[in-house]
């Protein structure tokens, strides 16, 4: 027996969902699988938590949806291989991905964060002026 709302399975003899109260059915209705043709592209990779926060804020302000992922497998390896807590790992590369159709706009917003050395050099006055 199954709840058609929660999709929880129950043993025989139960007639009502304990969570939502819906009457149970013998078989769950088929759920149409949605096609996900979303192509994600990486627009920033960084180990800098400040840069990551700035990037997320810039994308949110621009209304660009994004996905952040990290090397969690590496953190788990370090914990297992070196006996360290993953939170003690000094650096963790994070990737920000956006839909392919937002790539150009996102890259333009995040360019200063992708190349911080170039941005800092552009702000410094030439030698002798300052």
Per residue in 82-130, pLDDT (tens digit) is 555 555 555 567 889 999 999 999 999 999 887 766 545 555 555 555 5
pLDDT, tens only, 62-79: 999 999 887 655 555 555
Quote the CA–CA distance of 81 and 78 in Å, as a whole number: 5
Given CATH 2.60.120, say whether it is the number of domain 40-119. Answer: no
Quote the CA–CA distance of 45 and 8 in Å, as a whole number: 40
- Residue 26: pLDDT above 80? yes
pLDDT of residue 61: 95
Quote the CA–CA distance of 106 and 104 in Å, as a whole number: 6
pTM, two decimal places: 0.53
**CATH code 3.30.70 region(s) in the chain:** 40-119
């Amino acid at each position: 027996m199954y709840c058609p709302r929660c999709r929880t399975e129950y043993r025989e003899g139960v007639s009502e969902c304990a969570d939502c109260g819906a009457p149970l059915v013998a078989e769950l209705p088929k759920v149409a699988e949605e096609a996900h043709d979303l192509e994600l592209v990486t627009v920033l990779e960084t180990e800098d938590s400040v840069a990551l926060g700035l990037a997320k804020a810039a994308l949110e302000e621009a209304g660009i949806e994004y996905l952040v992922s990290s090397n969690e497998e590496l953190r788990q390896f370090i914990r297992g291989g070196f006996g360290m807590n993953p939170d003690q790992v000094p650096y963790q590369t994070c990737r920000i991905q956006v839909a392919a159709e937002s790539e150009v706009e996102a890259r333009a917003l995040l360019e200063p964060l992708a190349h911080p050395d170039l941005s800092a050099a552009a702000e410094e006055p030439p030698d002798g002026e300052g």
